[in-house]
Structure formats: structure tokens, C-alpha cells
Chain A
Amino acid sequence: MTDVQPGKFHPQAALKGYALNRMCFTLNSAESRAAFIADPDGYCARFGLNDEEVAAVRSRDKKRLFAAGGNMYFLAKLDRVPKPQGAR
């Protein structure tokens, strides 16, 4: 895929990252944040994130999260969850 610039329309990119964004959207609730913190990979699995998305979530790296189809308005919810040790 060509480079995707956030904010611009790319039909192929629009198909990416739905599960990742869905998972991040749930982090609005304290209960979900607690479940995520207790078991990040298990929580991601509940929403069917693929390997690229799970790796991006683990890294907390914006470039990887964007590349996986993450949308900033939903990634902001992930930003509000304390980072695990070792993540950037």
C-alpha cells in the first residue's frame, strides 16, 4: 500500500484497522481499561486484532499504529492507558 497520510481519504486504508479502532473505542470505559491493563494481548484477542495490530498496540508506536490503520481519535484512548514497561 502507498503511504497513508492521516486525515486524507484512502479507500484501501479505510478498510484497515477496524478491529484496532474498535478495541481502542472501548477504552473509554474504566472497566475496559482495567481489563486491557490486566491482559493487553488477551484483550486485543477479544476484538480480533491481527498480528500487525497487536504488535503495534504493544509498541505504542504511533507510526506503527497509523500504519496498521489506527485512527488518531481512537488511538487517543489508548494513549490514556498507562504504558507497560518497555514500551516507548
Chain B
Amino acid sequence: MGVVIGGLGTSHVPMIGRAIAANKQAEVPFAPFFASFGRVHAWLDEARPDVVIVFYNDHGLNFFLDNMPTFAIGVAHDYRNADEGWGPPEPRTFRGDAELAWHIVGSLMADEFDVATCQEMIFDHAGITALDLLFPADGAGHGDIPVATIPIMINGVLPPLPTPARCYKLGQAIGRAIRSFPGHRRVLLVGSGGLSHELGVSGKIYLDFDRLTLEKIEHDPQALTQFTNDEIVDLAGAQGLELMTWLAMRGAAAGGDIVTSIYHAPISHTGGAMMLIDTREGER
């Protein structure tokens, strides 16, 4: 059977990826953010995930407005990165888990979540940065990602967007899907996004809302599902809507205990945050 071993939420602003690429994690003003991942790495060694399911929002790379799904799940054997406008990157391939992904799709459809399926999908920095934070290189650049990845895109680009409540319920349904998988998988859920920010408008960080978010994600995630999308735009900026990824993560990785978390603002123009929750039972 599949086991949900934990959930992790993290920011993914491009400056984080650039610091990793330049091997300047200890030198940047937000060095404490990177330092906080030490606990995460120790936990990963002990908890041994086979698969990381990444909830993220595409940043105008794989999906365009000609056909914009609300939820899209990668069901491919592998995923590639691509030029996002900064210049052609070093080509990378991320191993998928088509067997588990298709099982999740079947379970979701039976659960009345009509998701789009992607047999090809270019993986955006939002997902890749999260993986690089989890599995860093010994030296410069990015490390090898030792786990399979299932990308799940939540539309954060153009409204109408799924509500916070719907994203949380999607996470819950994915949790059920993982637990009903007949094979053996240890699964970590990742929500990559936020916290508060608004691109194109500098300095729009909302400390109070970010603090509330972290408190509620830990103790009462359903409270955050009471917000409408428009309320989140007012409280956390247009890109604060990326909170959806954390809510989906927490829906799937319910209960458990906080291993570590950090809030560091600003990272670039974002309220930077990370939180790791251990949901293993009986093996700690």
C-alpha cells in the first residue's frame, strides 16, 4: 500500500533557484531559509520517500490560455525542464511514477475530481526548485533527485481559479488515492508556492497573513479554506493565491507533527516560508 509519510510547503521564487545554481546559499540575505533545510535533509534520510508529489502552479511554461486546466496531473515516465525566458538551462530529466500517477487519476475520477492528465509535461521552476531544496548537491549546482516525481499543476494563472476549499479537498482525495494504491510507495507531498506576493508590484508582502497561514496550516488548515479567492488576493496579493498548493499538500498530508518551519521575509519580493510535517504513524 501507499503511505503518506509527510508534507512540506515551500516558497519557490526564482531567486532561490539562482542562489542554488550559484552555490551562494550561505551568502544570500535569506541564508537562514536554506539553513532551515538541514533538518529537512536529516528527516528525508530517515523517512526515505520513494515518490514526491509536487503541487505547484505553472508560470507560463507548459500551459497557455488556449487550454488551461484547473488541475493537471503528470502521468508520464519522465519530465524535462526548459527555457523559461532566462536562457536555455542545462537539460535535466526528472523520473516520474506513471503507475502511481494513473492509479491516482483513476481514484480521483471515481471521487468526482475530473483532472486533466498530461503524458508530456515540461516541469516549471516552481516544482524543480522545491526538489532542489529537498535534494541538494554536495557542491555547486543541483543534485541528483533520488526519488520519482509526480507533478500536479493547480491553475494560478488566470481566474477563475479553484477555491481554497476545492484545493484542500483535492489533497484529501489524493491522500485517499495514495492509501488505496496496491503497490508499495512511501510518498511525500510538497506544496510549492507563496507565501504573500504580487509580481509586478514591489514590496507587497503581508506579514500578518503569512503568520496566520503558517499557524493555520499547522493547527487548523480548514480555517484557510473559508477564504474566497478574492479575499486571498486582498490579503496576500495576486500571487498569494499560490497558497492553494500548500492547502492541497495539507489535505493529503493530514495530522502529524511539525518537524521544522521557517518564515523569512523578504526573499526577493515574497514572504518566504517552509514547513515540514511528519505524518508517519507507528514508525517514529
Which residue of A has the minimal Cβ distance to B161? A9
**CB of A58 within 8 A of chain B?**
no
Query: Contacts A8-B229, A30-B88, A71-B158; is A24 near B83 (CB within 8 Å)?
Result: no
The answer to whether A73 and B59 touch across the interface, beta carbons within 8 angstroms, is yes
Query: Contacts A7-B159, A18-B65, A73-B157; is A28 near B233 (CB within 8 Å)?
Result: no
The answer to whether A6 and B198 touch across the interface, beta carbons within 8 angstroms, is yes
B84 CB contacts on chain A under 8 angstroms: 28, 77, 80
B239 CB contacts on chain A under 8 angstroms: 7, 72
The answer to whether A28 and B65 touch across the interface, beta carbons within 8 angstroms, is no
A30-88 contacts to B (CB < 8 Å): 30, 33, 62, 66, 71-77, 79-81
Query: Contacts A5-B233, A72-B199, A75-B200; is A28 near B158 (CB within 8 Å)?
Result: no
A79 CB contacts on chain B under 8 angstroms: 85
Residue of A10, A22, A73 with most partner-chain B CB within 10 A: A73
* A24→B88 CA distance, assembly (Å): 17
**Size of B's binding interface in residues, CB under 8 A:** 32
Residue of B86, B87, B199 with most partner-chain A CB within 10 A: B199
The answer to whether A8 and B83 touch across the interface, beta carbons within 8 angstroms, is no
Which residue of A has the minimal Cβ distance to B57? A73
B65 CB contacts on chain A under 8 angstroms: 18, 21-22, 71
Choose one: B60, B156, B200; the contact of A28 (CB below 8 Å). B60
B160 CB contacts on chain A under 8 angstroms: 9
The answer to whether A62 and B159 touch across the interface, beta carbons within 8 angstroms, is no
The answer to whether B233 and A8 touch across the interface, beta carbons within 8 angstroms, is yes
B88 CB contacts on chain A under 8 angstroms: 30
* A8→B157 CA distance, assembly (Å): 10
Given contacts A33-B85, A77-B84, 9 further A-B contacts (CB under 8 A): A5-B238, A6-B238, A8-B159, A10-B159, A18-B65, A28-B85, A74-B60, A76-B59, A80-B86
**26 residue pairs A–B, Cβ–Cβ below 8 Å:** A6-B238, A7-B229, A7-B230, A7-B233, A7-B237, A7-B240, A7-B241, A9-B161, A9-B229, A18-B65, A22-B65, A25-B64, A28-B60, A29-B83, A30-B83, A30-B88, A71-B60, A71-B157, A72-B199, A72-B200, A73-B60, A74-B60, A75-B200, A77-B84, A80-B84, A80-B86
Binding site for A on B (CB under 8 A): 58-61, 64-66, 82-88, 156-161, 198-201, 229-230, 233, 237-241
